[in-house]
């Protein structure tokens, strides 16, 4: 099993930050991983698992052994009257997988079109967009325990999904004892796509599109096209402008805290949740603090969506992870001073 030395990670992180991996192994199969684990220094080497690098801020060179997950393959496992069971390797590109399922006639993932990253990274932060989260279509996943080399499978309950959260984001010694961060890699993910297909159109911008149809029911392809159009209109394409999607999670507050904020800022965008709490639009708050389009060093706030931090440098002189984090901290401070809310970053800081 080849371990490459001094590998540039710039093409492998969607921010386009320049950093090197001292050691990097490309994992194209379960056997690759087991061969790597059989090497004598495996147990003492710290590891970093890399999918599409679209939810990550690199603040320097990576000393840990980088496991770049490149396991491919996608297939239909079962077709029943009630739905389709589809599987993909962790290294498949998420958007290509979504488009492929649709082309095969197995809809259900279209609201999550164009989310950057790989299939294997999708459960880690329970990706979601336009009213659908990964957990709504998830069936199960396979992984390998990096301590024991044993294969395992987890169902949705065992993954402990939450809003942009799962057991894979928590360290093993976390209070949630199921934590698996750094302890396991995801190798394959299975999705259950229910039949008959029902469009999920609850999100305001999709509701507007439906209104234009004057009563006709949209096709899965139409929903896919709408989602792509909406995303392209307000989110930067990481191939053109480096970014990691939403940089902060939308915070949840009590109805009392929300009422207090509304009393001072009546326009604050907020959504009541089924459990009685209220979700606030972090993008709106950052925008209200005047950050949209602002730049600090070579990092900036996207001019069409204040929740997205972007690389304002060039390919030769990209922004650094330090610049991104300095900007992020300045934003956190001003949002805290105005709204009393501590914004929590969504990407992993390495
Ligand atoms: N808003 C502003 N100014 C801004 C940004 C947003 O006023 O600069 C307002 C919008 O007008 C809207 C509200 O804030 O009323 C929410 O904005 P938007 O609909 O763009 O969604 P979001 O809450 O900012 C979330 C996800 C996105 C996902 C979209 C669509 C999080 C952290 N982000 O963004 O996910 O695509 O909803 O479902 O939950 C990601 O996680 O990387 C991501 C892009």
For residues 127 and 94, is the Cβ–Cβ distance under 8 A?
Answer: yes
Residue 144 has pLDDT above 60, yes or no: yes
* Residue 177 a catalytic site member: no
What residues contact 302, with CB distance under 8 A and at least 6 apart?
235, 236, 241, 243, 292, 293, 308, 309, 310
What residues contact 221, with CB distance under 8 A and at least 6 apart?
102, 110
129 ligand 1 Cβ < 6 A: yes
228 ligand 1 Cβ < 6 A: no
C-alpha 220 – ligand 1 centre gap (Å): 22
C-alpha 151 – ligand 1 centre gap (Å): 37
Q: What is the pLDDT of residue 175?
A: 60
Number of neighbouring beta carbons within 10 Å of residue 173 = 7
264/221 Cα distance (integer angstroms): 43
- What tokens does 245 get? 């999607």
Q: What is the pLDDT of residue 181?
A: 86
Q: What is the pLDDT of residue 174?
A: 59
Backbone angles phi, psi at 106, to 5 degrees: -120, 80
What residues contact 255, with CB distance under 8 A and at least 6 apart?
272, 276, 277, 278
Could you tell me the pTM of the whole model? 0.95
Q: What is the pLDDT of residue 239?
A: 93
Q: What is the pLDDT of residue 177?
A: 54
Which one of 117, 281, 306 would you pick to mutate in the ligand 1 pocket, going by the greatest count of ligand atoms within 8 A of its CB?
281
Nearest to 126 by CA among 152, 93, 98, 160: 160
Q: What is the pLDDT of residue 17?
A: 97
Say if strands 138-145 and 132-133 run parallel, antiparallel, or are unpaired.
Answer: unpaired
pLDDT of 13-62, one tens digit each? 999 999 999 999 999 999 999 999 999 889 878 899 999 999 999 999 99
The closest-lying atom of ligand 1 relative to the alpha carbon of residue 248 is 32
pLDDT of 109-132, one tens digit each? 999 999 999 999 999 999 999 999
Q: What is the pLDDT of residue 263?
A: 94
Q: Which residues pair with 299 in a beta bridge?
A: 296, 311
Preceding omega of 196 cis (within 30 degrees of 0): yes
Q: What is the pLDDT of residue 176?
A: 53
β strands within the chain, DSSP E: 4-8, 20-27, 47-50, 56-57, 62-69, 74-80, 83-89, 128-129, 132-133, 138-145, 151-155, 184-194, 243-246, 252-253, 270-272, 278-280, 295-296, 299-301, 308-311, 348-349
Where residue 100 falls among pLDDT bands split at 50, 70, 90? very high
* Residue 75 a catalytic site member: no
Residue 317 has pLDDT above 60, yes or no: yes
Number of neighbouring beta carbons within 10 Å of residue 178 = 14
Active-site hit among 18, 54, 137, 164? 164
125 ligand 1 Cβ < 6 A: no
114 ligand 1 Cβ < 6 A: no
For residues 65 and 43, is the Cβ–Cβ distance under 8 A?
Answer: no
* Residue 164 a catalytic site member: yes
Evaluated on CA atoms 248, 343, 160, 275, the torsion sign reads negative
3-state class percentages of the chain: helix first, strand second, coil last, to nearest 5: 30, 30, 45
Closest Cα to atom 13 of ligand 1: 281
130 ligand 1 Cβ < 6 A: yes
Residue 173 has pLDDT above 80, yes or no: no
Q: What are the structural domains of the chain?
A: 3-69 (3.30.43.10), 74-194 (3.30.465.10), 243-349 (3.90.78.10)
Mean pLDDT of 319-341: 97
Residue 314 has pLDDT above 60, yes or no: yes
Backbone angles phi, psi at 200, to 5 degrees: -105, 105
Closest Cα to atom 9 of ligand 1: 284
Where residue 171 falls among pLDDT bands split at 50, 70, 90? confident
Mean pLDDT of the chain: 95
Q: In what order do the strands lie in the sheet containing 47-50? A: 4-8, 20-27, 62-69, 47-50
C-alpha 325 – ligand 1 centre gap (Å): 20
14 ligand 1 Cβ < 6 A: no
Complete DSSP assignment for 87-146: EEETTSBHHHHHHHHHHHT--S-GGGTT--SBTTTTTTTT-EETTEEHHHHEEEEEEEET
Please give the DSSP secondary-structure letter assigned to residue 298: T
């Amino acid at each position: 099993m080849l371990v490459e030395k001094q590998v540039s990670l710039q093409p492998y992180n969607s921010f386009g930050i320049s950093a090197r991996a001292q050691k990097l192994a490309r994992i194209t199969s379960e056997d690759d991983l087991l061969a790597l684990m059989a090497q004598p220094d495996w147990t003492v080497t710290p590891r970093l698992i890399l999918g599409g690098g679209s939810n990550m801020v690199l603040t320097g060179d990576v000393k840990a052994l980088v496991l770049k997950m490149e396991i491919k393959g996608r297939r239909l496992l079962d077709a029943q009257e009630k739905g389709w069971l589809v599987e993909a390797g962790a290294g498949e590109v998420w958007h290509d997988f979504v488009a492929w399922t649709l082309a095969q006639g197995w809809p259900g993932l279209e609201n999550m079109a164009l989310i950057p990253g790989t299939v294997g990274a999708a459960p880690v932060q329970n990706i979601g967009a336009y009213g659908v989260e990964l957990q709504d279509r998830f069936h199960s996943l396979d992984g390998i325990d990096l301590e024991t080399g044993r294969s395992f499978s987890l169902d949705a309950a065992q993954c402990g999904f939450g809003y942009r959260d799962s057991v894979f984001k928590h360290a093993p010694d976390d209070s949630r004892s199921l934590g698996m961060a750094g302890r396991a890699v995801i190798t394959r993910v299975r999705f259950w796509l229910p039949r008959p297909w029902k469009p999920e159109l609850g999100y305001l911008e999709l509701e507007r599109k439906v209104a234009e149809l004057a009563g006709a029911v949209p096709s899965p392809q139409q929903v896919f096209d709408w989602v792509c159009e909406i995303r392209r209109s307000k989110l930067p394409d990481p191939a053109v402008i480096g970014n990691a999607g939403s940089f902060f999670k939308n915070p949840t507050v009590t109805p009392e805290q929300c009422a207090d904020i509304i009393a001072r800022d009546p326009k604050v965008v907020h959504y009541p949740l089924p459990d009685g709490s209220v979700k606030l639009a972090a993008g709106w708050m950052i925008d209200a603090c005047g950050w949209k389009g602002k730049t600090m060093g070579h990092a900036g706030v996207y001019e069409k969506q204040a929740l997205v931090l972007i690389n304002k440098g060039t390919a030769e002189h990209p922004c650094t992870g330090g610049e991104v984090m300095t900007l992020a901290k300045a934003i956190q401070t001003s949002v805290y001073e105005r709204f009393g809310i501590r914004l929590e970053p969504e990407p992993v800081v390495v």
